[in-house]
Structure formats: C-alpha cells, structure tokens
A and B are shown apart, each in its own frame.
Chain A
C-alpha cells in the first residue's frame, strides 16, 4: 500500500513543484529523493510488515511477497533509470518536473497492476500506466515522428482499452450469479467455462497482448518506441513492459488458472509468434534503437513462457526476468543516449574511445543474449525450466532456445562493432561524467551478482 500512495503523492508533489522550481536540474534530485523514500517505505512493508497506511480496500488489492518483491524491483530499476538517464530527461523539453511527475504516476499504475485483485483495479492500473505514457511519447513536441508515435500509441491504446473493457463486461456477465469483479470469484465450475466467460477471456487475452506487445498485436511497438524520445523508450521498454507482464500473469493465474488447459493453446500460439517475429525482424534492423524495440518483443516471448507454465518456477522466473531484463536494457539505452549515431556502425570502435561504456555494454548485451554468469542466463533458464514442467508443447521450448540463438546473432553484431571494428567516421562528442560511468559499472556488477546468486531475489519470494 505504501508504494501506491506515495508514488501518487510524489507525482502530485512533482507536478506542483514544476510551478515553483525554475532550475532544470532540481526536479531530478527531487525525484530521486522521493523514490528512495518510497523504496524505504516499501522495504518497511515487506520486511517489517508495517504499512504506514491501513486502508480497507475491500479485497480490491492483494499484497503478498510476490507482488511486493516485484514492486521493489520496479522501483529500484526506476531509481537506477533516474540516476543514469536523469540528465537526458532534462534535455527533452521545458517541462522537466512534469515528466518526472508522469513517471511517478506510471509507477503508481504499475504498483496497482502488480497487486490488483479485481478486474476493475486491473483496468485502472493499466490505464494509469498508459495515459501518462501517451503524453511522454509525444513530449518532444517539435519532432514530427514523436507526434506521430504518440497519436499511434494513443489510438492503439484506446482501442485495446475498449477490448479490455468489453472482456471485463463479458466475464462479469458470464458470472452474473456471483456479481463480483473479484478475480478469484470467477465461477468456472468443474473445469468448464461458460461461453460468455470464454469470450471475455479471449478479449482480455487480446487486450493484454496489445499492452504487452505480444505478436500478432505488437505492430505499434517498433514505431512508437522509435518515435518516442529515447530516454522514455528506455522506460517504456523495460519497467512498463515488465509491469504489464506482471498484470498479465496475475490475471490469468488468478482468474483462469483453474482452466489453464483450455486456453494454454492460445498462449502457445501467441508465444511462438512473438518469439519468431520479434527475433527474425530484429536481425534486419540497422538502427540499434529499433533493434532494441524488436528485441523487446522477442524478450516478451520469453516472458510469455511464464504464462504458459503458471507454476512456482514461472513466478520466480518472471521476477528474475523483470530484474535482469530491466537492468540490462536500462543500461544499454543509457549508453545509446550518449551517442549521436543510433546505427550499429555508430558503435564501431567504442572500446578505444570509451572503454568503460564498451565493457559494460558488452556485459549488458551478453545478459540480453543469456550467456552464463549474467542475470539474463538465470532468468532465461528459469523460464525454460518452468515451461519444461508442462507435459505438452515441448516443441515450444526448442523453438524458444533456437530463437535465443538467433538473438545472439543481432546482439553480437553490436559486440563486434564495439570491440573488433575500427571507427572510420568522425569522433563523437561524449557527454559522460565519472558518476555515470560508476553507475554503469554498478549496474553491470548487479547483473553479474544476480547471475551468480539469483537467490537474492528468489528467496524473498519464500519468506
């Protein structure tokens, strides 16, 4: 509860702060202080069991170790994101404080999405995440691409919201004798699904796939990620994405877990399509930013394996994946933000110009590929392990690993450029501070530590 209230409150503080604060760099520090405070408050709630607020939410929200650990991860990743990319947020436009405010609102939505217990709260959570993002996408007002991306995102988002609402209505209608939005109260009988609920389930599946950019509902993603200011793409492709996934898995486990057999085949189709489309299209990208957008679709395919499996390992794996993927992607985007040239050739010879950036980028890319010693390996391993426990669809796992091998192809193209190619174009101008380098090193170290001791996170789920 602490995190939900405080993120909302701090969002408002930042919004009004924008009226009074004239300096461009102050909002960043304010945001960082706020986030640290929220993290501490969340920590108190997990380990001391003492929320500051005891509000009777009538079972609309459900807090457990899984959701609270997950909230800690997204808050910690956001903190890292602020520290690494704070200066780049300042460069986007005039309304710096408002940008931070919008990010806090997204976090509030993410916390709700991680803890919802009724379909209405899910809807509210997802919308609180989405609406600020539409604005952030279009925040570079003078850039036509940014405007177009915002419009596209908004239209697609509104469309999927409609589908989601319709799905909720169908589920509620099919459940009329209970008359509850509570996801655990859905009356599925003895493994049989009333037609209305089945239709509602499909609508919800489509809507959530839209939000999570799972194929074949992913087509808005590359354009929106490419058009949005890169610093916000970084936030959208990492923290927001894993939050939506969290909501996705909670919804389907809580509401329809009992009849998993009946919808598992749908998930298999979506997962396979996501893996194939994400990976194959990423191979052909010349812009690293677009490549990361497609690779985020590909990574979503791996996260969908958790939804396919729905067991203890899947949950642990998803939390690990959230941390591993966010850390590596935030780091990679932070480095990308420092470059003038977003093509793969722009990375040529980075090792000579900026060794720290080059080595940490290498670690981030190795983690995204899923090479041992990095958190990316452990999280992928957990996903495969959870999926392998299912008796059906073993081919899906083989497909997943073959796609992981394909992903090595495009991630290693950047590694090649960084370490083995010569820079033939003009020297870049680097706006890199020692503090930035230290933060990158810390992020890379976290990835290695998580790769060696994933128990740090998974044990929290057992407490």
Chain B
C-alpha cells in the first residue's frame, strides 16, 4: 500500500505551493531548473498514487476537510472525484512535460519564473479539487495572478497590453461569479455554526426558484465563458497566447482553459438545472458560432501561435456545446476530450517552440521543408496534428465522436453545423503541416537541426499517450463515470 499520507488531495495543492516558494530563494539557474522539474515529478507521483486508489470505494483518503471560517460556513474542503481526478492528473502530467520540453529556454530571473509556474500549478490544482464554493473562487483567482505576472514579465513585445486585457476581462468575470456565489450561498441550508453554507452539496441543494436561477446562471456563465473562452468573450485569447512565453501558453491553453469547462460541469449545470434547460440553446449557438468563426480565422493565419490559438477556441467551443447538450454520452466525451485537448495542444506548442527556438520565426510563409532536416520532430508533429483533427486511433477521436453523438441526440442540426468544424480543422491543420514541414527548404529552414534527446523523450511520451488513449480509453471513462452519473441525475431532476 502506498499509504494515506501521499494520496491526500491537499498534498496536490500544498506541495507545489511550498516547492514554488522555495524556488524563489534558489540562486543558481541550473539548480532552479532541476528543482522545478523534480518538484513537478513528485506532484505527478502523488497524483498517480491518488488515482491508484480511485477505484477503491472504501478508501477515504481522497477527501480532506478543515473548518476554515466557521461562522461563515466555509471550509477548506478538497476532494478527488470524477472529473477532478482527470484534470488534476492532466495538471500533474503537463508540468513535467512543459518543464522538460522547455528545459533549454533561458529566462531572466529563472527562480522567479519557475516559482510562479509552480504557484500557478498550485492554483490550478485547487480549482479542480475544491468542493467549497468560496474556496473554489479563491483558487480560481489565485491561478490567475502568477500567470498574469509570468506573461507580463517574460512575454513578447506587446505583452503588457495583452496581459492587461486578459487580466481585466477575467477579473471582471470572476467578480460577477463572486456575486453569484454569494446569492446562492444565501439560499443554502444552515450548518451547525453558520446560517448558510458554501459546501458543494449545499449549493447543489440550494432552494432557488426559476427566475433566480435565470439571473444567477448568467453571472456564472459569463465568468466561465470568458475563461474558456467562447464567442464573443474570446477576444483576449489570441493576443495573450501569442504574447506569452511558450511555457506559459502551454499552461494557459493546456490546463487553464479547462477551468472554465470544468466549472460548467462542477458548478453551473448541477446548481442551476432549470436555467440550463432554458438557456442551453443560447449557450450552444454561441459555442457553435465560435467554432465556425475561429476555424475560419485559423485558416487565414500566417502566425503559427495564432493559428493554434484559434484552433483551440474552436475545440473548446465544441466541448462547451456538448456540455450544454447535457447528454450522458456527450458529457463523457467532454471529460475525456478535456484531457486529450490538453495533451494535444501542449504537443503543438512544443513543436512550435522547438521550431521557433531554432529559426527565430513562426510565420508559416517563411518556413518549409523542415521534414528533411528534422524527421523525428516531423513525425511527432504529424501524429499530434492527426490527433488535433481527431483521426481514428488517436486520442481525440473517441472524445469527438462522443461529443458529436451527444450533440446529435440533443439536436441533429446543431450537430451537423458543428460537424463542419471537422473539415475546417483538417484544412488548417494539414495546411500548416504541409507548408511548414514539407515542400522545399529555403535558406532559413536549411539550417534546421534535429531535436535533442530530452526533447525527443518528451515528444515520444506525448505520442505514446496519444495512441494509448486512442486505442484504450476505458481507464479514463472509469475515472469519470461517477461524475457523469451524478451530473445526469442532477440536471434531469
């Protein structure tokens, strides 16, 4: 037995926190990198050990509760359940991959950089683990602060404006959610000390009538829609992705956008089922507009980072549409797809980062013929690109299939229109693969060298993950099944 002590979910929050704080005080760059990498591996180990116990119903080491502000009815309660397990694992596995893939990148004040990265991991873990609404809000904001500093300090030329826009957008959305949380709180049952409670179950059973739900739905929805982001709340996203240092873009697109989707599943659907039934069409139509609009813009992009950013908006839009369709099969698809999207998009960023590091450009029109010079990089890219367009055998296929099934069950027209995105995704992804990696080399790309060993290892891990989940996705479904059954029960009540 691995024992209770290493599977406590709060360890997933506190370990990156402490490791991050220690990083600030390390002086030597090489030590900082090794330390951050090892710390992220330990977090991964804790996460894996927790998943090992996930099936054991009698094992209660996966929840933790500490009375925090007693007279207010809030507690530090965290739990590893269903969708949370998968997303904490995604967070845990992404950081070593990111650190490994960007190991050669040099940062000024690297101790601060890596310290903030680990703090961001702590915040993200908190979001996925919290089963108390106030605690959830707490981590929701905390995850934002380190990322704000990371983008503004180490980003591209226009980083300050881009990040500022991102911060103000998400902060305004979060505050609206805070008001929503307070209103729901005031309609929850009393606890032994407090007149109301912030606990997740109290929120699920809050006595809200139809009209109250309708208003509160929007307060929460706007906050989540900005974070995901879906149309028309997405305008911060391409600029921020483009201007952030690539390691941070990976965190943002691989994990942070999942906060919005996760919050829909954990907090929006179960708490406001009546409002969801009323506004689901609006949310789905917005999502589908976003899918098509982002796909079409992605086709036009010449900048690799912006292309991937828009492709991410399209993918997230599909997940959001499938969530609002509230069909069991669609929800299962979304949950697995959140994990897959994280893996695939991090993979794409890694390839872009490796190319940009060597050549100093990321304009598609300036590249070409890299395949002849760097075959390993190219093979990895092709696999990741296939996953990005959800080819069978790759991880994203099963997720997309299930999401479309759910959407189809809900309304076949929506499924048909959203389905156009599959074709559009193939257009921009394959176009990018062809123009950047195949064709003739030019003066610039003739100098490309093959990637180094540690980068090969990272890419290999990603490729293995893509195929492994693509061929045998059942373990992930097993992890999330309790969430889906609970959710369908709550939504259809």
Contacts and interface: CB of A to CB of B under 8 A. Distances in A.
A458 interface: yes
Nearest to B182: A388
Contacts of B70: 455
Interface in A347-380: 366, 371-373, 377
A372 B138 CA distance: 6
18 contacts: A366-B145, A371-B145, A384-B182, A385-B182, A388-B186, A397-B182, A398-B176, A401-B176, A401-B178, A402-B175, A405-B175, A408-B172, A412-B164, A412-B168, A416-B152, A420-B159, A455-B69, A455-B70
B186 A404 contact: no
Interface of A: 366, 371-373, 377, 381, 384-385, 388-389, 397-398, 401-402, 404-405, 408-409, 412, 416, 419-421, 454-455, 458-459, 462
B137 interface: yes
Given A372-B142, A419-B149, A384 B168 contact: no
Best-buried of B71, B138, B145, B176 by chain A (most CB within 10 Å): B71
Which 5 A-B pairs give the minimum distances between C-beta atoms?
A: A405-B172, A401-B175, A372-B141, A372-B138, A388-B182
A102 to B, nearest CB: 39
A454 B153 CA distance: 32
A293 to B, nearest CB: 23
Interface in B122-176: 134, 137-138, 141-142, 145, 149, 152-153, 159-160, 164, 167-168, 171-172, 175-176
A354 B69 CA distance: 36
Contacts of A455: 69-71
Given A384-B178, A388-B182, 13 more contacts: A372-B141, A381-B182, A384-B182, A388-B183, A398-B176, A401-B179, A408-B171, A412-B167, A416-B152, A455-B69, A455-B70, A459-B71, A462-B71
A301 B237 CA distance: 33
B25 to A, nearest CB: 13
B174 to A, nearest CB: 9
A409 B172 CA distance: 10
Nearest to B140: A372
Contacts of B175: 401-402, 404-405
A389 B172 contact: no
B69 A454 contact: yes
Contact of B179 (A388, A389, A408, A462): A388
A159 B142 CA distance: 46
Interface string B51-71: 000000000000000000111
A292 to B, nearest CB: 20
B171 to A, nearest CB: 5
A364 to B, nearest CB: 14
A315 to B, nearest CB: 13
B156 to A, nearest CB: 12
Contact of A397 (B149, B171, B179): B179
A139 B484 CA distance: 69
Given A371-B145, A458-B71, A408 B168 contact: yes
State the main secondary structure of chain A at its contact with B: helix
Nearest to A455: B69
Contacts of A420: 152-153, 159-160
Contacts of B176: 398, 401
A267 B149 CA distance: 38
A447 to B, nearest CB: 14
A309 to B, nearest CB: 12
Nearest to A405: B172
Interface residues of B, number: 27
B69 A384 contact: no
A366 B160 CA distance: 17
Nearest to B139: A372
A419 B164 CA distance: 13
A111 B18 CA distance: 42
Best-buried of B142, B153, B179 by chain A (most CB within 10 Å): B179
Contacts of B71: 455, 458-459, 462
A449 to B, nearest CB: 14
A381 B134 CA distance: 10
Interface in B52-93: 69-71
Best-buried of A389, A397, A420 by chain B (most CB within 10 Å): A420
Interface string B162-206: 001001100110011011001101100000000000000000000
Contacts of B171: 405, 408
B179 A384 contact: yes
Given A420-B152, A454-B69, A455-B69, A405 B168 contact: yes
Given A419-B149, A454-B69, A455-B70, A373 B179 contact: no
Nearest to A389: B186
Best-buried of A419, A458, A459 by chain B (most CB within 10 Å): A419
Contacts of A398: 176, 179
B152 A402 contact: no
Contacts of B145: 366, 371
A184 to B, nearest CB: 26
Contacts of A397: 179, 182
A419 B153 contact: yes
A416 B167 CA distance: 12
Nearest to A416: B160
A377 B172 CA distance: 14
Interface in B330-381: none
Nearest to B76: A452
A408 B167 contact: yes
Contacts of A389: 186
A458 B193 CA distance: 14
A366 B167 CA distance: 13
A381 B172 contact: no
Contacts of A458: 71
Nearest to A387: B182
Contacts of B153: 419-420
A289 B182 CA distance: 34
Interface in B298-343: none
Contact of B164 (A366, A388, A416, A462): A416
A241 B197 CA distance: 33
A373 B138 contact: yes
B152 A419 contact: yes
A402 B172 contact: yes
Nearest to A362: B149
B418 to A, nearest CB: 32
A385 B137 CA distance: 14
Interface string B284-298: 000000000000000
Contacts of A419: 149, 152-153
B187 to A, nearest CB: 10
A405 B134 CA distance: 19
Contacts of B138: 372-373
Nearest to B138: A372
A388 B182 CA distance: 7
A416 B176 CA distance: 24
A52 to B, nearest CB: 32
A161 B160 CA distance: 47
Best-buried of B141, B142, B149, B175 by chain A (most CB within 10 Å): B175
B137 A372 contact: yes
Best-buried of B70, B178, B185 by chain A (most CB within 10 Å): B178
